[in-house]
Structure 1
Amino acid sequence: MVNVKESSQHVEINLSELKGFEKHVIVELIKETNNLTNKTGLRCSNDNCRAIILHEADKLSTDALLYIRWVIERYRGCHKIFFCCQDASKLQPLKNICKLVQLLPPSNKEIVQVLEFIAKNENIELPNKLAERIAVSSKNNLRQAIRSFEATSQNNSLLEEDQVILTGWEDDIANIAKSIVEKQSPKQLYDIRRKLQNLIDHSVPPEFIFETLAVELKKNVEESMHKQIDKTYKEYSGADKHRHANDERKKLIHQFMSIEEFIAKFMSCYKNHLAKKAIDMTEIKEETT
């Protein structure tokens, strides 16, 4: 089952949902679109041109891109293909047959205007200074700014200029913390890595994830483990802090790797803690019998 959005003039799909079948689905879309437009027997125009929009195209493998390029060159017709991505360098095999259009992120002023428009339509009193703070905290990510506005307004009936800004991801991170405490295993770590990847895909700041995760872990363990959490957090959150300072993407990857290492280290410590606690309880029972 593939989720597709379509109209008479476009078909839209998110490649991250295809899980290994990206190449096959894209090729079928190209062939199908080509057949539909060729049946009309008309010259290409705005009326019979169909757009194929592919989101998260930078997740495609080099092998898939080379094959897709061959299919595009073979099945030329009244259709346009849009490869939407965050890192155009990963679409190198398509460089000579595609035109690169770079969309700059919105400015803080533009984000504030969108938030104020939403607030007006939802009858929410949004202080201008709070809107500006939300825009700054979103780091030019409009989707995150809207999510933060929604989460903050739902948590507060009356919005104030200096109140705490929520991101809307607090519950997701709290669930990760619960998963860490519930079970310590390679499979659990793999599932948590998948959840972290979702946060990465939605541009959630790693500093926020790290700090919130440490706080949520303390809520799920006994107080005797709090010092261990602080120690491990300090060790990994400050590790190579200035590494890849001039390369934002590499810096981001390194930060999330540090979070994964923090989780793996804490899982190991907590597993040992539970084992020791179980031994102590056994010894106490033996002494009392």
Structure 2
Amino acid sequence: MFESTLDNYAHSNGLRDMNTFFKVIFAISTMLVSLISTSPVVPLLITFFMSALIIFQAKIPWKFYLKFLAIPFIFGFITFIFMSLFFGIGAHILDLGVFNLAVTEDGFNLGLLLFSRVMGGFTCMAFLALTIPMTELFSELERFRIPQIVTELAMLMYRYIFLFLDEGINMYHAQETRLGYSSYRKSFKSMGMLGSNLFIRTWIKGEQAHLAMESRCYDGSLRTLKAPESIRSIGIGKLALFVSFELILLICVYLTWNLRIV
């Protein structure tokens, strides 16, 4: 399933032996720079750079990465369209001629900025998810003094997201083998049945998982695994590259502070 593929890449990527704390700091600081930028230029640069880092350095297959990137891209693009049409003021750059809808300069710039921030932030998160196993990532979050309850909830949410997906896929395949999607009418009926039963099935699976945890001496807290000490060294060269990269991004943010595409 998708969870297994994601975990496999997290454990066997080209950047697996790099210091985990360093990767977390790098991704979070780059994401913050993307968020403070008032121009789409820097977030888009971060998107391309992080994507190249994931594909060429971490050696994640590009087809898998594009599938991983597809959903946030679609949501970001839809947001860009709505912001362009329904928000902002200024001169019209495109009149659709339907219901007086038009794309304004301010709306276009605002929509493009939000889209670029979404993509820049998500590629930073994708870098974390595809290069760091989740158990090590959660253990590193404890070093930032994040409350234990937050990390435990995050771990459970991560687990149950894929439990939800697994149940949905299994139910879909079961319906498909019984010709549940052989026609449009049957497809709508099957999707309705899947949606109505999926919550109940995942609830039952969650209860079973909780009972399994209690049978293994679950005391209300989850333990996280620390990364091996052999991969803890960062190196002066990597630190210099990291500082230089962030400084370049900050300079670009300053130079493009008032830059507008249209």
Bigger relative contact order, structure 1 or 2 (CA pairs below 8 A, ≥6 apart): 2
- Please tell me whether Structure 1 or Structure 2 has the larger radius of gyration of its CA atoms: 1
| TM-score, with structure 2 as normaliser | 0.24
Which one has the bigger helix percentage? 2
